[in-house]
Structure 1
Amino acid sequence: MNIDGRAWRTIGLEPDGRSVWVIDQTQLPHRFVTRSLSTIHQAAEAISSMVVRGAPLIGVTGAYGLMLALQDDAGDEALSAAFDQLNATRPTAVNLRWALERVRDRVLPLPSEQRAEAAREEAGLIAEEDVAMCSAIGDHGLTIIQQLAAARPAARRSKPFQLLTHCNAGWLATVDWGTALAPIYKAKRAGLDLHVWVDETRPRNQGASLTAYELGREGIPHTVIVDNAGGHLMQNGEVDAVIVGTDRTTSRGDVCNKIGTYLKALAAHDNGVPFYVALPASTIDWSLSDGLVEIPIEARSAQEVIAIQGRVLDGPAAGSVAEVQLTPEGSNGFNPAFDVTPARLVTALITDRGVADASEEGLKSLYGLD
């Protein structure tokens, strides 16, 4: 996607082919910087500290992390240890284990001297496939947006099509295009008049800092709102559709996404607003059926609730980025990173293969499974 007129992806090989660069998303939106990863420990830290985040991008970073590990030691024990270290960094997003298993299975039959190069090739393939899947999600989602826009009452057709999204499921969460934002980018480029309500997405504010950053660079009209404003907007007819991403989707269509997604789904259901979830195949966990029971929910540091980062507006430190405490001394914080939205609240799943009902039958029909 575009930043100041230049096309960017979120991750890529450095010129030496032995290390990886990533966009440091903890610095956005006030600073745009890249970071070089040359060891498995740096890759693991980048994932756990959310230098990189978003289920698809976590998976690609993990794949390259195995490459970095194998460059130092390509033995079976080292491979197993590297797999476990990377897999433990973020427990909820299924893409991570999927990508790690794919690289591991590719290199295991090979002699040790060939493993690092094979891992590099496989990680590159995973990255390219992610771009293609996200572009396809955008195409299928564009069709839905066009149909919904055309079906609006005549009085509303002269107004922008109003979408609401939660967290960041754009190109910063993938290698390029994104999942939930891909249809929005495609709609903009197709000439559709639209506007996006961007949930701030506390506590890490991925909507306010990342989604708003992306949309602004692409010239898409948007407004940042507090997380609790979505239901009010839906009640007053200011939302035509909701579209979000997912970090893990069960075989029957339950979706696990950033905390607060479930509340948006409830509000949408109560107000008759379509609620769509966009995802690539790598986000489907076919081994799970009941998301509420089986998906592990990552609990992150309470510090993310207690404090917030932002740019100083005035005074001697104006323009600098600082972290400030929100709560009184001694107050505790609880920080579940995700929640589960039951399939019954999902209008449809927008995948790289097409649009499906949020059900086991719907997903299997797309992926040719019995």
Structure 2
Amino acid sequence: MKGGSEGGVALLSYTVRARHPHPSYQRSRRMGIENIPRTIWWEDGRVLLVDQSRLPLVGDVLVCEAYSGVCQAIATLAVRGAPALGVAAGLALAVWTVNETQGYETVEDYLNGLADVAADVAATRPTAVNLAWGAARVLRLARDNADLPLAELKDLVVAEALAMEAEDEARCRAIGEHGAALLPEGARVLTHCNAGSLATAYFGTALGVIFTAHEAGKVAHVWVDETRPVLQGARLTAWELGRAGVPHALITDNMAAWVMRQGGCDAVIVGADRIAANGDTANKIGTYGLSVLAKEHGVPFYVAAPTSTVDLTMATGEHIPIEERNPEEVAGVTWSAVFDAPSAQATSLLDAMTADTGAFALDVGAGHKLEISRKGGGYRFDGWARISPVGVPVYNPAFDVTPAANVTAIITENGVARPPFGESLAELCAGSGSMHELGDVLPRVAEADADAADAGEPGE
């Protein structure tokens, strides 16, 4: 293992050329569905997750030994995607329970501490309702079993978090089956952002549909939106499709209209971060624009998401809090790479530069940034290059809301919801343990969301 433990995180280093500690990352000469990656898992009382912020050229497995480490990973987009965030929330409460509760001697004290941790985790990025759902589910279970001895209650909390990880894969596979049935033979599909295995515990929602249809021989081609500004489509979705052997091509976001105009798209499939009771859908910025294009060109527009993403407590998408992220995401581009030093002289120079702290920040002028750090036997370069004038104002919302009127159907693990979504979603979510059935166990998060919506400011 390499790295420190700031924020409860240690780095287990690897590159995409090296052996990954989870079997799903082993390189194979034969591409296929079995090669899609696993995102987050539990090992020896720790949460392990892939740092997606540098994929596909560089990857790290973050080893979180404290719940604050999981929160840090969520905030920095090391782990992202609504279903994966739900699993991360449950595992954050589990890792806190295992490693940080030695001073809690009574059930009451433990439950109070668990509630505080759950609220902290859920507040990290509240647009994705799965994050609050995951924390609320574990907290609700703990409160409902407050009559248990403390040791048994802790074991129950950990078991529930692990069950959530396993359930997520089952949900994704069911979504895949329901969604694949909607696609025609020889389908040409367009997708946005990354709603694949990396956005879930395993397999994916929108890409889960594509993977399932591909295995059935129904997918001819996938168009991958690059998804500015963080490029989840270019970095993550294209990588997953390549590993799975699915025919695909990367396009810039502003090419989607022309692809549709030329008749090259039979369906659009996207994921979701939160779905309101009426079917309004919050997803990665740019999704709304795609829905308008699809409607104009008569292309079916499908949303694929588990029922845990449906928030029946929110009547419409009008008050979904929308996160605004760092202006640097738009004002410049980020890149990472791992290099072996080309010569002994270069090794000596890089070792000298990183001798004090293991990392060295270079001032390269014009506002550009470059940091060099040691990486196993090599060196990692993390850079940010400005592509805009210094001081330019930036507006960078991370999500937008697609109105239900633009959505053809919503694909869940329990079946396919069609308009009117107020009725069909309620029916599919009944008894599924979605957010509205857990009750008001996280009032601080609910209040924060409401305050953000009233103020017209980001709630994340």
Same fold (TM over 0.5): yes
Q: Deviations over 1:112-168 (max 9, x none)?
A: 3334322210111111111111000000111111xx23xxxxxxxxxx521100100
**Structure 2 CA distance, aligned partners of 1:66 and 1:254?**
30
Name 1:195's counterpart in structure 2. 221
Q: Deviations over 1:315-369 (max 9, x none)?
A: x999955321121111122211100001110011111111111411121233458
Q: Of residues 127, 131, 134 in structure 1, which corresponds to 2:169? A: 131
**Structure 2 CA distance, aligned partners of 1:311 and 1:24?**
12
Q: 8 Å contact 1:64–1:119 — kept in the other structure? A: no
Give how far 1:210 is off.
0.5
**Structure 2 CA distance, aligned partners of 1:281 and 1:98?**
11
Name 1:296's counterpart in structure 2. 321
Name 2:10's counterpart in structure 1. none
Q: 8 Å contact 1:137–1:350 — kept in the other structure? A: yes
Name 2:47's counterpart in structure 1. 20
Secondary structure at the aligned position of 1:329 is classed as coil
Name 2:39's counterpart in structure 1. 10
**Structure 2 CA distance, aligned partners of 1:244 and 1:349?**
10
**Structure 2 CA distance, aligned partners of 1:261 and 1:141?**
18
Aligned length: 353
Seen in structure 2, the aligned counterparts of structure 1 residues 61 and 368 have a Cα distance that, compared at 3 Å, is closer
Q: Structure 1 residues 221-230 or 321-330, which shifts more?
A: 321-330
Name 2:290's counterpart in structure 1. 264
Partner amino acid, structure 1, of 2:334: Q
Name 1:241's counterpart in structure 2. 267
Partner amino acid, structure 2, of 1:363: L
Give how far 1:299 is off.
1.2
Runs in 1 of length 4+ with deviation above 6 angstroms?
A: 316-319
Partner amino acid, structure 2, of 1:245: G
- Structure 1, unaligned runs of 5 or more: 150-159
- Structure 2, unaligned runs of 5 or more: 1-23, 29-34, 105-109, 343-371, 373-378, 432-460
Kindly indicate whether residue 106 of structure 2 is the aligned counterpart of residue 78 of structure 1.
no
Kindly indicate whether residue 189 of structure 2 is the aligned counterpart of residue 163 of structure 1.
yes
**Structure 1 CA distance, aligned partners of 2:26 and 2:255?**
29
Kindly indicate whether residue 156 of structure 2 is the aligned counterpart of residue 118 of structure 1.
yes
Q: Of residues 70, 83, 86 in structure 2, which corresponds to 1:43? A: 70
Q: Deviations over 1:263-310 (max 9, x none)?
A: 00000000101100001011000101110x221111111121112123
Q: 8 Å contact 1:2–1:218 — kept in the other structure? A: no
| Root mean square deviation, CA, Å | 2.2
Kindly indicate whether residue 369 of structure 2 is the aligned counterpart of residue 327 of structure 1.
no
Q: 8 Å contact 1:11–1:23 — kept in the other structure? A: yes
Q: Structure 1 residues 41-50 or 323-332, which shifts more?
A: 323-332
Q: TM-score, normalised by structure 1?
A: 0.90
Secondary structure at the aligned position of 1:144 is classed as coil
**Structure 2 CA distance, aligned partners of 1:334 and 1:116?**
44
Partner amino acid, structure 2, of 1:230: A
Q: 8 Å contact 1:3–1:217 — kept in the other structure? A: no
Name 1:96's counterpart in structure 2. 131
Kindly indicate whether residue 73 of structure 2 is the aligned counterpart of residue 53 of structure 1.
no
**Over alpha carbons, which structure has the higher Rg?**
2
**Structure 2 CA distance, aligned partners of 1:43 and 1:241?**
35
Q: 8 Å contact 2:79–2:85 — kept in the other structure? A: yes
Give how far 1:47 is off.
0.6
Name 1:307's counterpart in structure 2. 332
